Amino acid sequence: MKLMRKLTFHSAMHNYVVHVRHIPGTQNSIAEFNFSLSDGEISKAGTKSRSDTHTLPSSSSFDDGLIKQVEELWEASLCISTRKTYNSGFLCFKTFMAMTNQHHINSVPIIDEDCLIYFVTYCKNSLKLAHATIKLYLAGIRHNYLRIGHPDPLSNCARLECILRGIKKSQNNVKQKRLPITSQILKQLCCMLQQGVFSPFVDLMLQCSFNLAFFGFLRCGEFTYSSKIARQDTLLIQNIDFDLNFQNFTVHLNSSKCDPFREGINITIFENDIFSPVDLMRRYIQVRKNHGARPDSYLFVNDEYNNAPLSRDTFIARLRESLFRLGYNDSKFCGHSFRIGAATSAAARGRGPYYSDFRKMVIRLLYTLH
């Protein structure tokens, strides 16, 4: 028995396999041990000494270029905004585990279902996070654990699902604070900007961007710039393609939530007699060209003196200032208010917001406003 213990320990230390066969005798005292490797064949401890039939090669045995390509594919599996959200969630989780003095292994906390249950409870009660945000944080934890080779920490977590359901139900009574910018509010905004609010250039740009957001059912981040998106995904002048008769124009989005594989989406905006979105875009681009803009210049900029892409914060600040001037509670509106208002107006007229597939989305909205 002592010999068996020593052999087991030695094989574990030097990564080889011991096969044992018992040969019975008259006094049951004879045994023969057949080793898969003799003493002279046992190499130094390391991954190469393992039997090929029992183990897979470690990542360190692969070419550095191949390892780098794998890392690039991990990065490409998520868009920039999702990656940042996942990293924020994982950092929050690591901070929580450090606060509760949990053990770590390979720089990540040892995790089980109880840890996740207490974490989501902490997110709800202490951080005041919404159910949707907590789900994103959990997805970030899962992604990071899978990336470093750990099993899926969210598999077989029935109790966690019950807790998440409880969080969702407890937050159902939270009123939605975002109000829609309907066609009537859009009309008021355009009329006010035509009379002059900021500067002639900024007023025209805002009218153009407001109409694009409304008639295109766009999210704010799809036509403005923020640190969450890559600059190469920001709209350029060359992304606008006019019809020969200027009855419509097509805007090409390089990235969108409706386009998870980043194939690009084309949205067609049609002209109408009330808002004239096509004419506004034509006049605005002509003004940009008169200021020296090129096809690869950003479509919307901060102002006529600053050609940096129009930031999300600047856009929302000017939108809220305009709404405040009209007498609205500007804090109730946000960048998504155009999309919400367009969908509300379309639904009120018995129309779906858009007709689309994953490759092409064509939007056509015909209004018969009084």
Question: For 145-174, how does the pLDDT look when each residue is reduced to its tens digit (9 = 90+)?
Answer: 998 888 899 999 999 999 999 999 888 766
Helix (H) or strand (E) holding 6: helix 2-14
Nearest-10 crossing angle of helices 183-195, 312-325: 90
pTM score of the predicted model: 0.59
Report pLDDT digits (tens) over 333-365: 988 888 888 888 777 766 544 434 333 333 333
Domain boundaries, the chain: 2-61, 64-170, 183-362
Q: Which residues of the chain have pLDDT under 70?
A: 1-61, 103-108, 173-176, 227-232, 257-261, 349-370
**What's the CATH code, domain 64-170?**
1.10.150.130
Quote the pLDDT of residue 265: 83
Q: Which CATH number fits domain 183-362: 2.30.30.90, 2.102.10.10, 1.10.443.10, 1.20.1250.20?
A: 1.10.443.10
Quote the pLDDT of residue 74: 86
Please check whether residue 204 is in contact with residue 280, taking contact to mean a CB–CB distance below 8 angstroms.
Answer: yes
Quote the pLDDT of residue 2: 57
Of 143, 132, 128, which Cα lies nearest the Cα of 84? 143
Residue 270, φ and ψ in degrees, nearest 5: -100, 150
Quote the pLDDT of residue 134: 94
Helix (H) or strand (E) holding 249: strand 248-253
Task: List residues bridging with 34 in a β-sheet.
Answer: 19
Quote the pLDDT of residue 357: 36
Per DSSP, helices labelled H in 16-157 are 64-76, 80-99, 113-125, 131-147
**Half-sphere exposure (Cβ direction) of 254: Cα atoms closer than 13 Å:** 16
Query: DSSP label at 40?
Result: G
Q: How far is residue 159's CA from residue 181's CA, in Å, rounded to a whole number?
A: 41
